[in-house]
Structure 1
Amino acid sequence: MGVFGGTFDPIHFGHLRTAFEMLQALRFDEVRFMPCGNPPHRGEPFADAELRLAMVLAATEGQAGFVVDDRELLRDGPSYSVDTLSALRSEFPLRPLALIIGMDAFLNLTKWHQWREILQLAHIVVAHRPGWRAPDMGPLGTLLADRGTHRIGDLHQARSGHIYIHDVTQLEISSTEIRELIAAGRDPRFLMPDAVRAVIEKSGCYRKPDTAEIQ
């Protein structure tokens, strides 16, 4: 199982393409989208939990292997990955779990809450894009030397403990830029599924009060 967390504020084709490529290339039985409730390393999301969940549900509807899990939105306090993985491990004690993160997040892994425990609970799959380089020195360089693998089979034969770096298609789409575009009265069409765009249009989230509706 791939575990794909994020604020998804809003979810867009960059998120979806990464998840789809992981699902296919790494032979996951599912990729579980985990909208973050209260992200500890960034400010409060712009759209509320209900809206972000609605957008993720709309974006993933009908895609085999995509599952949406709202447990972080229902949990009080910061949304720490280690807590989510602990809950999943209790629910699926024998199933391999793989936390999907970007290289930018991986480079900051040592700042995460109880980060060393994550590999006791799951594998880490790093979505690698051009312009980022995997560390070869320091704590993360040592971690990659000890735990890194190039074998997809290792992600299925063990329940946890490996780090796998996988190249994904680079789509230059940013949730921040989408919010700014909508606030400026412009249309996010073709940056996200139409169903997500419809949720944004109906709710008016991200739009300034004096901005006209999306045309």
Structure 2
Amino acid sequence: MKVGLLGGTFDPIHLGHSQMAKQLLAQTELDEIWFLPNKIPPHKAQPQASFAHRYNMVKLACTEHSAFKVCSIENELPSPSYTLHTLKALRTQYPLIKFSFIIGMDSAQSLPTWHHWRSIFDYCDIIACARPGWSADELSDDLHPLRANRRLAIVAINEADVASNTIRSAIKQGTIANQALNPSVIRYINQHRLYIGG
């Protein structure tokens, strides 16, 4: 089985995440996409919602597609949530699955700065999501050989104009982005009064 791993804080998960995952399922040979909520991301501001809340919201959002799953493995590992450590643990638990790690083109550009980044390819391939019209000139020189060897795939997707920080700001101001969130996620946020303070 071929599984795409989509990591993120998902604070909260929104329709932009699920739309991207659906496009990847349509354009690649992936059988499933597993959403991996970060416990403590090393390169981003820390999430406002707890891991448990973010995991529960992702689990609710995953019900919209049979090929979507949520994986809690980063909550079981030491912090911070380095990709390499996550991939090693997944390989141990699922030795027969072929994993591909899904990132945005901005993350692909910074990949050579990641923790032991070359070792990541011992455990998975990389799928980088690019906007339509992306040029190979934007790719770091370190990554061209990996693309030539098909360890790094570039997939053009149409990005939704939505961001988790914008959603959090709207909730704090007393509104909620109905067009950007799964209805079950909206209900969960309202039930637990997430993102209201702070």
Taking structure 1 as the reference length, the TM-score comes to 0.85
- The answer on 1:11 being equivalent to 2:21 is no
1:201 to partner: Cα distance: 0.7
* Counterpart selection for 2:176 from 187, 192, 199: 187
CA distance, structure 1, for counterparts of residue 102 and residue 148 of structure 2: 15
Checking the alignment, whether the CA contact within 8 Å between 2:134 and 2:156 is kept in structure 1 is no
Fraction of identical pairs, as percent: 34
- The secondary structure found in structure 2 opposite 1:121 is coil
Residue aligning to 2:130:
128
Letter in 2 for 1:176: N
Give the letter for the 1:205 counterpart: L
Letter in 1 for 2:56: A
Structure-1 separation of matches of 2:152 and 2:158: 19
The aligned counterpart of 2:143 is 143
Q: Work out the CA distance in 1 between the residues paired with 2:137 and 2:170.
A: 34
1:165 aligns with 2:167: no
Match of 1:111 among 110, 113, 131: 113
User: Equivalent residue of 1:120, what SS?
Assistant: coil
User: Which secondary structure does the structure 1 equivalent of 2:121 belong to?
Assistant: helix
- Say which SS state the counterpart of residue 126 (structure 2) adopts: strand
Deviations 1:44-75 (A, max 9, x none): 10101111011101101152111110010232
User: What corresponds to 2:90 in structure 1?
Assistant: 88
Give 1:76 shift: 2.8
- The amino acid of 1:142's aligned partner reads D
2:43 partner amino acid: H
Unaligned runs of 5+ in 1: 155-161, 210-215
Deviates more, 1:93-102 or 1:26-35: 93-102
**CA apart distance, 1:149:** 5.0
Distance 1:147 1:23 in 2: 22
Distance 2:75 2:93 in 1: 18
In structure 2, give the amino acid aligned to 1:21.
Answer: Q
2:79 to 73, 77, 86: 77
Contact persistence 1:103–1:134 (CA under 8 A): no
The reply to whether residue 196 of structure 1 matches residue 185 of structure 2 is yes
8 Å CA contact 2:33, 2:67 repeated in 1: yes
1:92 Cα offset (Å):
2.9
How far off is 1:108 after superposition? 1.1
Partners of 1:125 and 1:31 in 2: CA distance: 12
Gaps of 5+ in 2: none
What does residue 99 of structure 2 align with? 97
Distance in 2 between residues matched to 1:53 and 1:204, nearest whole Å: 16
Aligned-pair CA distance for 1:117: 0.6
Shift of 1:191: 0.5
Give the conservation status (yes or no) of the 8 Å contact 1:149–1:164.
no
Contact 1:100 1:125 in 2 (8 A): yes
Paired residue total: 196
Please give the alpha-carbon distance, in whole angstroms, between the structure 2 residues aligned to 1:39 and 1:67.
20
Q: What SS does the corresponding residue of 1:97 show, helix, strand or coil? A: strand
Q: After the TM superposition, which parts of structure 1 deviate over 3 Å for at least 4 consecutive aligned residues?
A: 130-137
Q: Distance in 1 between matches of 2:133 and 2:161?
A: 12
What is the RMSD computed on CA atoms of the aligned residues? 1.9
Q: Distance in 2 between matches of 1:90 and 1:28?
A: 20
